[in-house]
Amino acid sequence: MSDDRPRTVGILVFEEVEVLDFCGPFEVFASAQDPQTGERAFDVSIVAETTGIVSCRGGLLVKPHTDFSNAPQFDLIVAPGGYGTRAQKDNPALIDWIGRQHHGTEITISVCTGLYLLAAAGLVDELPVTTHWAAFDEAREFFPDLQLVSDQRVIDTGNVVTSAGVSAGIDMALAMVERLLGRTAAEETARDMEYDWQTRI
């Protein structure tokens, strides 16, 4: 980036989204500080199709900051997983939003079965990708051409990054902090969160 503003991160939510899939990355990006200025490095927003209350897995209720119609172009977007992805992969409004955002993002990211949403948008064709270990067979059923990799928690292919399930989203977000801000910034963020960060990329 050519200016000093925080990078913007849009984290998607939808009905039956897995809580840690989006809350874990939110905590990482919201906690990370620019090593040069000590200021926050990311401006994080929760995005949904509408700004109505979203019921997440387990009953957690979330009020999005913005919706597809009003969200700005983000530098990073995160598509989390959860049972809701089975329906959302066929939601034209959501898939179109991901596709439109991807054209302007620095990095487009999935956690867990959020991979389905990137696949439905045509963003992972011929790329090595990953998801939750228990979803590999289902992923192949939905998207037979996926190039699934089973032994990595995070796969960084440049402007598309995919991660394994649930807690792997925290590792992914820390890996993005390392990539964008440096190793020290990532280690400081993990330390602030009291998270024992194991990088397995």
Identify the residue whose tokens are 């991901």.
98
pLDDT at 2 over 90: no
- Name the pLDDT band for 1 (thresholds 50, 70, 90): low
User: What's the DSSP call for residue 6?
Assistant: P
- Distance between CA 51 and CA 75 in Å, rounded? 21
**4 vs 186, which has greater pLDDT?**
186
Identify the pLDDT of residue 186: 96
Identify the pLDDT of residue 199: 57
- Active-site residue, selected from the candidate residues 47, 54, 71, 112: 112
- Is 112 a known active-site residue? yes
Question: Please, what is the Cα angle at 25 between 21 and 26, to 5 degrees?
Answer: 110
Could you read off the pLDDT of 93-122 as tens digits, one per residue? 999 999 999 999 999 999 999 999 999 999
Mean pLDDT of all residues in 28-32 = 98
Identify the pLDDT of residue 197: 84
Give the chain's domains with CATH numbers: 7-192 (3.40.50.880)
**151 vs 91, which has greater pLDDT?**
91
- Distance between CA 132 and CA 122 in Å, rounded? 20
